[in-house]
Amino acid sequence: MQASKLIKSLRFKKIVPKNFEDFSVSLVTQDTREVTLGSIFIAIKGAKVDGHKLVHEAIEKGAAMIIAQEELPAIAVPVVYVQNTNKAMAILSSFFYETSSQALRVIGVTGTNGKTTVTHIIEAIFRNLGEKTGLIGTMYRKIDTEVLKTKNTTPDIITLQRTLNKMVEKGVSTVAMEVSSIALIQGRVWGVDFDVAVFTNLTQDHLDYHKTMANYAHAKSLLFSQLGNRYTHSGDPKVAVLNIDDPIGEQFEADTAAEILTYGIKKEAMIKAANIEIHGEGTSFDLVVFGEIFHLDVKMVGLFNVYNILAAFSAAYACGVDPADIIAALEQFPGVRGRLQLVTSASKVSAIVDYSHTPDGLLNALETINDFAQGKVFCVVGCGGDRDKLKRPKMAKIAVEHSDYPIFTSDNPRSENPQTIIDEMLVGVPEMLEIPTFVDRREAINFAVAMAKPTDIVLIAGKGHEDYQIIGDTKHHFDDVEEAKKALDLKEQGD
Ligand SMILES: CC(=O)N[C@H]1[C@@H](OP(=O)(O)OP(=O)(O)OC[C@H]2O[C@@H](n3ccc(=O)[nH]c3=O)[C@H](O)[C@@H]2O)O[C@H](CO)[C@@H](O)[C@@H]1O[C@H](C)C(=O)N[C@@H](C)C(=O)N[C@H](CCC(=O)O)C(=O)O
Ligand SMILES: Nc1ncnc2c1ncn2[C@@H]1O[C@H](COP(=O)(O)OP(=O)(O)OP(=O)(O)O)[C@@H](O)[C@H]1O
Ligand SMILES: N[C@H](CCC[C@H](N)C(=O)O)C(=O)O
Ligand SMILES: [Mg+2]
């Protein structure tokens, strides 16, 4: 695409110099590390780095045009001044990648917990229909069978548009993507044409970033206001899928002009679950779809997973998929890696690795395990460094109140002192209780497994699929499932 054509998409701008020699744009990027000959570099004022200070580096690497929001000293290439480079980035990347999201069915999922799980279930439903699917979220970006690494749950808008574009090229038709609250505030999905937006739930997380729960809820609401009321490329109406049991779900009804599809268990919903029976190997329940009843036996356990299944079912139903086809996929779905993932052993002690890193997530995981545990429940848990500090005493209290043996440890301490994080967890626990604490997560897991007796369960919470521990700026290899297996093997050898 020619530069002159591309920057036409920015209406309010000043170009210096006014007349420039046109060129074919090789890449639009906000990152100097990606710049190649013929790129347009967009200077973003980030939390750590100001892209305006990196303009010379970008030009040295071949940038042929700069988009800026702050006055730059005279430079060798044309500069397009705009009011907000973040917005310009959204507009330019959408045009450069030819508004790929309009050629795809895009299902966005937001909420504190359950996004990764729900997007994986949605992906499985459409894949089961024989479609090529896309997935964007915490664990990876998936373009049909190709798996790409990811830094954020919701990537920056350029990476996102690039990924969507590649999906179109590869023949993908439906994309399930996690949309985090931070991404919504930062405009990482500006310009993305969602067809369906799903809300899972809202409980405490990320208050380090949003400061108040009201701000956090507002951030989530942006997905629903952004959904709009236009008809999709296929002529289907846009739909907001809302968990009606969560009071915030009800609030979001007023934030969108799209059609509403509600799901829930407690309140009167369009799509409901009833007669729920949870057992160690799975869950059975009746799915009530506008009054019509279907019986389901799924492999996932826990009431919260019934909510996740309802959310995914509703999203597919909103796209017009036949309930029988959705149910066929739901009954086969094996669960997601690192979400209540069972690690068994001959010693009959089991470990469960789960990504519960919020108070509500931890409570749900423990309540679910308590429902089917025959022996005692151990809970190895830590709290992330450089993340919401208010979660720490709350998660500690939940571990103490809902498990028989809580053990506190580290979970990605990042730039913080791990012992300080543990001390801040201990604030939530009555002083007379002696909680074993281990800064070294491996020691904590080994201790719990060594103490456990046959039929006991050791929940290892907070890191799920993560295969690293971030200490300072360094990512060390660390995998809870691997560690649990090693500890269980060691226990068997010792017995
Ligand atoms: C606090 C926060 O959200 N930070 C995000 C933000 O980074 P930032 O503002 O600090 O950016 P910066 O590093 O100052 O860089 C500014 C600009 O300079 C550019 N730059 C920088 C260095 C360089 O050498 N060259 C260069 O061009 C950068 O590309 C950028 O354009 O913009 C970046 C690009 O979009 C994000 O990757 C980054 O996420 C960081 C890694 C992060 O940890 N974010 C977390 C808090 C987050 O976003 N989490 C959510 C929710 C998770 C969940 O609940 O599932 C998520 O969606 O991941
Ligand atoms: N619907 C739900 N309600 C409450 N807790 C849930 C729900 N679904 C999952 N959880 C808990 O939260 C953990 C994380 O689940 P999942 O990865 O699906 O959420 P997420 O929203 O993608 O999280 P993140 O914000 O880190 O991306 C699970 O391991 C489980 O303990
Ligand atoms: N998306 C969440 C994941 C937290 C996972 C936990 N292991 C931690 O590092 O705190 C975050 O970045 O806050
Ligand atoms: Mg996720």
pLDDT surpassing 90 at residue 55: yes
Q: Is the CB of 138 under 6 A from ligand 1?
A: yes
C-alpha 9 – ligand 3 centre gap (Å): 37
For 158-172, write each residue's pLDDT tens digit.
999 999 999 999 999
Instruction: Tell me the CA distances in angstroms from 409 to 100, 422, 448, one per residue in order.
Output: 44, 7, 11
- pLDDT of the residue at 491: 86
* DSSP 8-state symbol, 102: G
Contact yes or no for 106/193 (Cβ under 8 A): yes
Reported ipTM exceeds the 0.90 cut: yes
Binding-site residues for meso-2,6-diaminopimelate, in ranges, read 387, 411-414, 462, 466
Q: Which atom of ligand 2 is found nearest the CA of 203?
A: 4
pLDDT surpassing 90 at residue 209: no
Q: Is the CB of 463 under 6 A from ligand 3?
A: yes
Nearest ligand to the C-alpha of residue 182? 1
Q: Is the CB of 416 under 6 A from ligand 1?
A: no
pLDDT surpassing 70 at residue 235: no
All structural domains of the chain, each given as residue ranges with its CATH number in brackets, are 3-96 (3.40.1390.10), 100-332 (3.40.1190.10), 341-494 (3.90.190.20)
Q: Which residue owns the Cα nearest ligand 3 atom 10?
A: 384
Contacts of 187 (CB under 8 A, 6+ apart): 86, 87, 90, 157
The whole-number average pLDDT for the span 88-107 is 92
For 126-155, write each residue's pLDDT tens digit.
999 999 999 999 999 999 999 999 999 999
Torsion angle of alpha carbons 257, 263, 267, 268, nearest 10°?
Answer: 80
C-alpha 113 – ligand 2 centre gap (Å): 3
For 254-292, write each residue's pLDDT tens digit.
999 899 999 999 999 999 999 999 887 889 999 999 999
C-alpha 161 – ligand 2 centre gap (Å): 26
Q: Which residue owns the Cα nearest ligand 2 atom 3?
A: 304
**353, β-bridge pairs:** 341, 460
Q: Which atom of ligand 1 is found nearest the CA of 58?
A: 27
Backbone angles phi, psi at 478, to 5 degrees: -160, 125
- pLDDT of the residue at 229: 66
- pLDDT of the residue at 372: 87
- pLDDT of the residue at 205: 82
* DSSP 8-state symbol, 134: E
pLDDT surpassing 70 at residue 412: yes
pLDDT band at 299 (very low <50, low <70, confident <90, very high): very high
Alpha-carbon distance of 90 to 273, in angstroms, equals 39
Q: Is the CB of 384 under 6 A from ligand 3?
A: yes
Torsion angle of alpha carbons 408, 413, 416, 419, nearest 10°?
Answer: 20
pLDDT band at 431 (very low <50, low <70, confident <90, very high): confident
Q: Is the CB of 112 under 6 A from ligand 1?
A: no
The whole-number average pLDDT for the span 214-228 is 91
- pLDDT of the residue at 280: 73
H/E element holding 241?
A: strand 239-243
pLDDT band at 495 (very low <50, low <70, confident <90, very high): low
C-alpha 110 – ligand 2 centre gap (Å): 11
Nearest ligand to the C-alpha of residue 115? 2
- pLDDT of the residue at 188: 96
Alpha-carbon distance of 59 to 40, in angstroms, equals 10
pLDDT surpassing 60 at residue 232: no
C-alpha 349 – ligand 1 centre gap (Å): 41
Q: Choose from 62-71, 195-204, 344-353 the range with maximum mean pLDDT.
A: 62-71
Q: Which two tokens stand for residue 391?
A: 């979660």
Contact yes or no for 40/30 (Cβ under 8 A): no
What average pLDDT does the structure give for the chain? Answer: 94
The whole-number average pLDDT for the span 361-376 is 93
pLDDT surpassing 90 at residue 208: no
- pLDDT of the residue at 99: 78
Cα torsion 408, 409, 414, 417: sign: positive
Q: What is the DSSP string of 161-179?
A: HHHHHHHHHTT--EEEEE-
